[in-house]
Structure 1
Amino acid sequence: MKNVMVIYGTRPEAVKVAPLIRALRESDVLTPIVVSTGQHREMLDQVNRWFGIEPDHDLDVFKAGQSLTELSARILTDLPAVLQRYAPDAVVVQGDTTTVAMAAIACFYEQVPVVHLEAGLRSGDITSPFPEEANRRLAGQVTALHLAPTSAARDNLLRENFDPAAVVVTGNTVIDALQWTADQPVRFQDERIAASAASGRPMILLTTHRRENWGEPMLHIGAAVRRLAERFPDHVVVFPAHKNPTVREAIIPLIGDLPNVIVCEPLDYPEFVHAQRLSRIVLTDSGGVQEEAPSFGRPVLVLRDNTERPEAVTAGTVKLIGTDADRIVAEVSQLIEDPATYERMSQAVNPYGDGHASHRCVAAIAALLGVGERVAEFEVSAG
C-alpha cells in the first residue's frame, strides 16, 4: 500500500477533498493520511463532521486577525515535521489557498511528490483573485501530477509548458460532494430560512467575501441588494454573512433592516447546498458557487470582473457582472422580469463534473506511484 497524504485547511478545500479521501479509503493500493492546517476553524470542522472525516493530524494554525505572511510562515514552519513523521509517498493539495501554496513548497523541500487537485485554473491576472491566482500558480511549479477539472484547465497548463503526461482531466470533485449532499435530508437551523423555504417565496442567495471586493466594491454590492430588496418585496434575500468583520461591517448596515432580507450566520455545507437548490438567483463572488449552482439550473451572477472558471460563462449559466450597483440591479431585475432571459440562463448545464471525479483522481495517483493505471478522462456530455 502507498500512503497518500491529503493536506487541506479551509471549508472549500474540505468539501473538495472529502470525496477523494473516501475514494482513497476504498482503494486496494492507496491509503489516505489526512492532515488539516486549520486555516479555517469553525467552518472547516463542520464539513469534517458532515463527511465523517477526522484528520490524523491538525496543525491548528488559525489565529484571528493574522496576516497572510503570518499564516504562511506558520504552515511552512510546522508542516515539515509532519511530513517527516508520516513519510507519505505523495501529497495531495487542493485548489488555491495559502495552505496549498505553502504545503506544496514544504513538500518540494522535503522531496515529496505533489499532486495538485483542481489544477490549471487561471484568471489571467496575478492580482485577482488575490491571493488565490498566485497561490495556484506557485503550487503548479512544484507539482508532479496536475489533476485538472476541465479540458480548459488542462489547456491552461499546456500553454504554460507543463508536461502533458503529468496532466489528467478528472472533472471537479466538488460535484461528487454536491450530488451526495443534495440527496441527504437537511433541515435549516435558522427558522427564518426554513419558513421562507416552506412559503415558496422566490429566494435570492447572496454570498460575498473576496478580498478584492473589500471596501468600496462591497459597499456598492450592499447598496445594490438594498435597491433590489425594495424593488421586489415578494422576493427574499438570504445573506449568510462571512465571519470576517470587514465583510459584515460593509454589508449588514445596508441591508440588515429590510423585512425581506435574512442576514444569518454562515450556513453549514449541507444547508448551503440546499439553499442553492432552493434559490431562484445566486449573487456571488465565490469560485465554488460558480461550480455548484449550475448543477441545480440556477442562474449565477458573479460579482467579479474576471473568473478562473470560464466554462459555465461559456455555457451561459454564469455571467460576470462586476460590482457596479446599477449593473447589479439591472442584471438581477432582468432575470426577475424577463422569463426568456431567465430560461436561457437556468438551463442545467454543468461543465464541471459528473460525480465520478474522485475515482479518476485515485486512478491517476495510483499510476503516478506505479501501483495502478489511469482511466478515461472526464469529458462534458453533449447532452
Structure 2
Amino acid sequence: MRISFVFGTRPEAIKLAPVIKEFARNNLFELNICFTGQHKDMVIPILKLFNINIHVNLETMSKDQQLSEVVGVMFTEIGKYLSKIKPDVVFVQGDTTTAMVAATVAFFAGIKVAHVEAGLRTNDIYSPFPEEFNRVVISKITNFHFAATKNAFNNLLNEGVSSEHICLTGNTGIDALVFASKNKSHNLLKFLPEHVLDKKIVLITCHRRENFGLKFKNICKAVKELSEKFPDVNFIYPVHLNPNVNSPARKLLSDIDNVILIEPIDYFDFVQLMNKSYLIITDSGGIQEEAPSLNKPLLIIRENTERQEGVTAGTAILAGTSTRKIVERTTTLLENKDLYLKMTKIKNPFGDGMASKRIHEYLESKLK
C-alpha cells in the first residue's frame, strides 16, 4: 500500500512529521514524501530535526509569484508527481495552497485523499484568505477526514460528511510538541544573550497573508507602544522571511532596545523559546494549539479564528488587529496576575499527543 505525503510549508511539515513517523513503523505501508517548496528555506531543517527524508522536491516557488501563478505551477508539478508515483492514498494537512492543489489533483486522478486537521471553519470565505477556501474545497473531495476537535467534527457533519468518514483525533501539532519537548540539547543562548532571557519575555509571531499591509503596521505599532509602556519586558519576534512581513517589521521595530528581532529559528528551539516566554502574541494557528500545553496564555492578533476552542476554554484571547485593542489586552495580561494564572491552568482543548496513533489505526482499519 503506497501512501504519499505532500506538503510545502513549515506548519505542514511539523504537523505531518509525527504522522509520517507513525506510519513508517508499519511495513504494510510504502511511504513517499513530496515537498513542493512553498517554504523552501524553512522546511528542510524541520525534516532534519525529525529525521525524515524527502523523496521528491518539486521546487515550485520563484520570486514575486502571484497566488494564481503558484497554484498553476503546483497543479502541473504535483500532477506529474502523482502520475509517476501512483499512490493509493495522498495525505495533506491543513489549508495551504499545497494541500488544496494536492488534494484536487489526487481527486482528478481517482486517488483517495486523507486530510489531517479537517473541518476547521470561520464560515467567512475571505477570512483567512485563501485558507478558508482551501479547506472547504479539500473537504468536498476527501475520503478520510481527520478532525482535531469536536467542533471540527461537527462542522463536517453539518456539511453532509458521513460520520463513518470522520475520525476525531486531536491535533498532530501536540504530538510534535511532545516529541520536541523531550529534546534537551537545544540552547537558547546560541541566538539570544543571557541578559535578554533573564527578563520577562513576550514572544511575538505574525506572518499570515490576511494581516499584510495596514493590519501588520497596526500590529507593529502596538508592539512599539507596549515596549515603551513595559521597558522591563523583552518582546522577542522571530521575523518571517516573507518580504511582506520582513521589510515592514524591520523598518518599524529595528531601533527599539527591548524589541529583539531575530531570524526564524528551528522548531525545537522555538518550543524552548515558547516555554521560556511569559505570554505569546500570535496570528499562528499552530501556536494557538501548542501554547496551552506549555501553560502559556495567548493573544490572537486576528479578527476571527477557526480555532475557537481555545477562546471558549479560556486559553486564548482574541485581540483583533487594531493597535488599541492589542495594547489593551496585552496590558491586562501583563498586569492582571489572577487572570494570567487562571489561563495557565486550563487544560489544552486541542489534543493529548496521541493524534498520530489514532490516524494510523483508523486508516489501517479502513484499508484492510
Q: Same fold (TM over 0.5)?
A: yes
Q: 2-side partners of 1:194 and 1:72: how far apart? A: 44
> Partner residue of 2:256?
258
Aligned-partner Cα distance in 2 for 1:215–1:354? 36
In structure 1, C-alpha distance between the alignment counterparts of 2:244 and 2:189, rounded to whole Å: 25
Q: Measure the CA separation in 2 of the matches of 1:137 and 1:194.
A: 46
What is the CA–CA distance in structure 1 between the aligned matches of 2:193 and 2:97, rounded to whole Å?
Answer: 33
Q: Alignment partner for residue 352 of structure 1, among 335, 340, 350?
A: 350
CA RMSD of aligned residues (A): 1.3
User: Which residue identity lines up with residue 168 of structure 1 in the other structure?
Assistant: C
Q: Secondary structure at the match of 1:192?
A: coil
- Partner Cα separation in structure 1 for residue 257 and residue 192 of structure 2: 11
**1:239 aligned partner:** 237
Aligned partner of 1:59 in structure 2 is 58
Does structure 2 retain, via aligned residues, the 8 Å contact 1:290–1:300? Answer: yes
Q: Which residue of 2 aligns with 1:140?
A: 139
Report the residue type matching 1:267 in the other structure: I
8 A Cα contact 1:36 1:59, kept in partner: yes
Distance 2:51 2:194 in 1: 25
8 Å contact from structure 1 (residues 204, 237) kept in 2? yes
2:82 paired with 1:83? yes
**1:148-190 deviations in whole A, cap 9, x for unaligned?**
0111100000000111110110111110100110110212365
Gaps of 5+ in 2: none
> For the residues of structure 2 that align with 1:23 and 1:309, how far apart are their CA atoms?
25
Alpha-carbon distance between aligned partners in 2 of 1:194 and 1:351, rounded to the nearest angstrom: 34
Cα distance in 1 for partners of 2:249, 2:336 equals: 28
1:13 maps to a residue whose letter is E
Contact 2:314/2:346 (<8 A) preserved: no
Deviations 1:329-358 (A, max 9, x none): 111111111111111222242111111111
* Contact kept? 2:313, 2:346, Cα under 8 Å: no
Distance (Å, rounded) in 2 between the aligned partners of 1:119 and 1:62? 25
Residue 113 to residue 193, structure 1, CA distance change in 2 (3 Å): farther
Letter in structure 1 aligned against 2:201 = M
Moved more, 345-354 or 10-19: 345-354
| CA distance in 2: counterparts of 1:151 and 1:126, whole angstroms | 21
- Describe the SS at the equivalent of 2:164: helix
Query: C-alpha distance in 1, partners of 2:212/2:85?
Result: 40
1:42 aligned counterpart, secondary structure: coil
What is the identity percentage for the equivalent residue pairs of Structure 1 and Structure 2? 40
Structure 1's 111 and 193: CA in aligned 2 closer, same or farther, altered over 3 A?
farther
Q: Following TM superposition, by how much is the alpha carbon of 1:193 offset from its aligned partner in structure 2, in angstroms?
A: 5.1
Aligned mates of 1:192, 1:35 — CA distance in 2 = 34
Distance in 2 between residues matched to 1:28 and 1:190, nearest whole Å: 40
Letter of the 1:55 counterpart: I
2:364 to 351, 359, 366: 366
Deviation at 1:192, TM superposition (A): 2.6
Equivalent position SS for 1:168: strand
**How far apart are the structure 1 equivalents of 2:220 and 2:365?**
49
Q: C-alpha separation between the residues in 2 aligned to 1:58 and 1:318?
A: 37
How far did 1:249 drift?
2.7
SS where residue 43 of structure 2 aligns? helix
Return the alpha-carbon distance in structure 1 between the equivalents of residues 189 and 99 of structure 2. Answer: 32
Q: Which moved more, 1:243-252 or 1:83-92?
A: 243-252
Write the deviation string for residues 3-34 of structure 1: whole angstroms up to 9, x where unpaired.
11111110000000100110011124223211
Counterpart contact for 1:298–1:348, Cα < 8 Å: no
Aligned counterparts of 2:170 and 2:193: Cα–Cα separation in 1:
32
Partner residue of 2:72?
73
2:240 and 2:246 in contact (8 A); partners too: yes
Q: Which amino acid aligns with 2:267?
A: Y
Q: Bigger shift: 244-253 or 162-171?
A: 244-253
Q: Residue by residue, what CA displacement relative to the aligned partner does 1:87-140 show, whole Å, maximum 9, x if unpaired?
A: 211110000000000001100111000001110000111101111111111111
Q: Does 1:306 align with 2:304?
A: yes
Note the 1:84-233 alignment, pairs <5 A.
84-185=83-184, 186-188=186-188, 190-192=190-192, 195-197=195-197, 199=198, 201-233=199-231
**Structure 1, unpaired ranges of 5+:** 372-383
Compute the TM-score of the two structures, normalised by the length of structure 2: 0.97
CA contact (8 A) 1:119 1:146 kept: yes
Work out the CA distance in 2 between the residues paired with 1:290 and 1:193. 27
